[in-house]
Structure 1
Amino acid sequence: MSLEVLQVSKQYGTQLAVDQVSFSARPGQVLGFLGPNGAGKSTTMKVAAGYILPDAGDVLIDGISILTHPIEASRQIGYLPEHNPLYMEMYVVEFLLFVAGLYQLHGAEARQRVAGVIHDCGLEKEQHKRIGALSKGYRQRVGLAKALVHDPKVIILDEPTTGLDPNQLVEIRALIRKVSQYKTVILSTHIMQEVEAVCDEVVIIHEGKLVAQDSLKALKQNTTEVVFVLETQEEMQSKWFDDLLGLAKCHLISPTTIRLEAKEVFLLRTELMQVLNSHGLTLISLRQEERSLEHVFYELTAPRYNV
């Protein structure tokens, strides 16, 4: 079952948080949803999950509109918000049965569904404990079980691994990959390694607008041969590097750090050093980098310094 976000916009007062964003997600894949703080990620996720209504546009769950058929569409969506809402005084199994009841699941059917998600989320040993007594990793598992208990076809996860230790990260990532085998999963995160570990396709938004959607492999394909990051003790001006042989792109990361994309490795040998010498720059570090998702993200969303 697919999810389609169609020209969605959302405004809060004078701030346009989401501006005509469109993307789609397919069954059997994990779609990574990325953007810097304030880009509109959580707002978009809430609209996609049916928690808030868009000011314009629509969301279709297998062709069903969340605007015209909200109940029917919401039955097919499981949502884990960034701030995992749990009743800390309830026991795990008690809480999941309560959630099942909210989706009109009762009796043997509810118990079967709850037993299934407890097993899938690795909560068998924790099911009779109070949620407040669990570690954060297990609370996240409970949140994921909550999102799965009514057997939705689309799972929306907003920052599901925030604050987890490395072992918990590995466990939750494995669980997400397992779920994605038979459901459509959308994952919002700030952790690039997480995206590269679990996602098949990536959507990036910036300042409320969609700036990229493609497969992870396609986004990482290098359009230039080499990338250099140069750091000096003194402040630089990007125009000093404009005439370098083979230069493709150049921008300041900070007043003393510049990122250069070049088609010729000759940059490293002669011309780059001549620029440093001619402007009396003290070299602190110079490194060559491979293109990564982090680089792509930075290129599309980073602030620019005009010097």
Structure 2
Amino acid sequence: MIEVEGLSKNYGTNQAIKDVSFRVEKGTILGFLGPNGAGKTTTMRILSGYLPATAGKATIAGYEVHSQPMAVRKNIGYLPENPPLYPEMTVKDFLLFVAKIKGVAKKQRPSQVQKALECCQIEDKAQVIIRKLSKGYRQRVGIAQAIVHDPPVIILDEPTVGLDPRQIIEVRRLIRSLAGERTIILSSHILPEVSMTCDLVTIINQGKIVATDTPEKLLQHLQGECHYEIELVGEINHLLPQLDQIKDIQSHNVQPLTNQENRQLLTIQLTHNDDSAKDIARLLVNEGLEIYEMKRLKPSLEDVFLQLTTNEE
């Protein structure tokens, strides 16, 4: 459904993206994840036909973005980071206007608008002037304009930016409900949004793709690493040089626990060898420290993201 091969974009001597390639099958939600300034929005604008690439090729629904831009635009719905809404129009009039400029036949416009209103759960806002809507509802209108012509591909650029926690949850549910027959690219720098919503994740950093896989398989990048949190009673700073001598300790950090007298939290990252955790516990006990709790942490998508983007810097 979406094929991207070797996309690059230069602004003078600055290269915004370099040799970007990925593939998204029909019915998949792809999370396009990266830090601010990594090249996410540039890639989304190229795919939506609003920005020409310097090099490379992108095909959407069988149409090549550069040579067949009008056909591509008929087959995609695009929600930019700042939706281009007309604040003085009612929601319904705005969607009818969008349906017209997107080529929906006149007889089909009312039904397509009604379908978009229902899908985005804004039927009761149809006659409300857009400027009177909350940020969350304006975002729903933005999504409605992206789907009013019933495109097979939807591109959403930072769809939950500026929303409160409840609005974020509602928009995530809406995005999931749009999947199935549609293919969706969700561009974001918010990790929970991607992990809770997407089937596939592509991570971009400094304009280059550093990983593409399912969230589950991306976690396997950290299988060889062990992370422990140890809550203990007593002073530990004088033992840090001895901890450094234990094999496989990659890093450690000590933080006092608030409202807990003389308790501290020791966080340790080990590489490859879980057995070193026994040596750590033995050292702490032998030095008279009381271990209140010691637990191994499961890796998260955030851990993968930080590792991949930090290593590239």
The TM-score, its normalising length taken from structure 2, stands at 0.83
Query: Partner residue of 2:35?
Result: 36
Deviations 1:226-273 (A, max 9, x none): 22479x979x99xx94x643x2x83699xxx98623333343443599
Give the match for residue 267 of structure 1. 276
Q: Aligned with 1:212: secondary structure?
A: strand
- 1:260 is matched by which residue type in structure 2? Q
Conserved 8 A contact 2:7-2:20: yes
1:224 paired to 2:224:
yes
The equivalent residue for 2:136 is 137
Shift in Å, 1:274: 6.6
Aligned to 1:299: 307
TM-aligned CA deviation for residue 12 of structure 1: 1.3
In structure 2, stretches of 5+ residues that fail to align are 231-235, 254-265, 285-293
Aligned to 2:120: 121
Structure-2 change in CA distance of 1:17 and 1:102 (3 Å): same
Counterpart amino acid of 2:226? V
User: Would you say the 8 A contact 2:33–2:203 is kept in 1?
Assistant: yes
Q: Is the 8 A contact 2:205 2:312 kept in 1?
A: no
CA–CA separation in structure 1 for the residues paired with 2:310 and 2:252: 10
Structure 1 9/304 Cα, relative in aligned 2: closer, same or farther at 3 Å?
closer
Q: 1:74 to 1:251 in 2, by over 3 A?
A: farther
Question: Does the 8 Å contact 2:32/2:185 carry over to 1?
Answer: yes
- Aligned match of 1:158: 157
- Show the 5 A alignment for 1:80-229: 80-221=79-220, 222-224=222-224, 226-228=226-228
- Which segment is superposed worse, 186-195 or 110-119? 186-195
Alignment RMSD? 3.0
Measured against aligned partners, the alpha-carbon deviations of 1:3-62 in whole angstroms (never above 9, x if no partner) come to: 111100001122111000001111112100001111111101111111101000011013
Bigger mean CA deviation after superposition, 287-296 or 42-51: 287-296
**Worse-superposed segment, 99-108 or 89-98:** 99-108
The aligned amino acid for 1:102 is I
Distance 1:209 1:146, change over 3 A: same
Q: Which has the larger radius of gyration?
A: 2
Q: Percent identity?
A: 41
Please tell me whether the aligned partners of residues 40 and 187 of structure 2 are also in contact (alpha carbons under 8 angstroms). Answer: yes
1:7-18 maps to which residues of 2 (within 5 A)?
7-18=6-17
Aligned partners of 1:250 and 1:258 also within 8 Å: no
Contact 1:81 1:158 in 2 (8 A): yes
Q: Quote the residue 1:46 is aligned against.
A: 45
1:134: Cα distance to partner?
Answer: 0.5
Q: 2:296 & 2:12 partners in 1: Cα distance?
A: 45
The 1:261/1:304 distance shift into structure 2, 3 A limit, reads farther
2:209 aligned counterpart, secondary structure: strand
Runs of 4+ in 1 over 4 A off after TM superposition: 271-275
Query: TM-score normalised to the size of structure 1?
Result: 0.84
Q: Is the 8 A contact 2:246 2:279 kept in 1?
A: no
The answer to whether the Cα contact below 8 Å between 2:24 and 2:30 also exists between their aligned partners in 1 is yes
The change in CA–CA distance for 1:261 and 1:17 in structure 2 (over 3 A counts) is: farther
Paired residues in the alignment total 289
Q: In the superposition, relative to structure 1, how do residues 82 and 261 fare at CA in structure 2: closer, same or farther (>3 Å)? A: farther
SS at match of 2:201: strand
In structure 2, how many angstroms separate the alpha carbons of the residues matched to 1:304 and 1:160? 26
Please give the alpha-carbon distance, in whole angstroms, between the structure 1 residues aligned to 2:133 and 2:47: 30
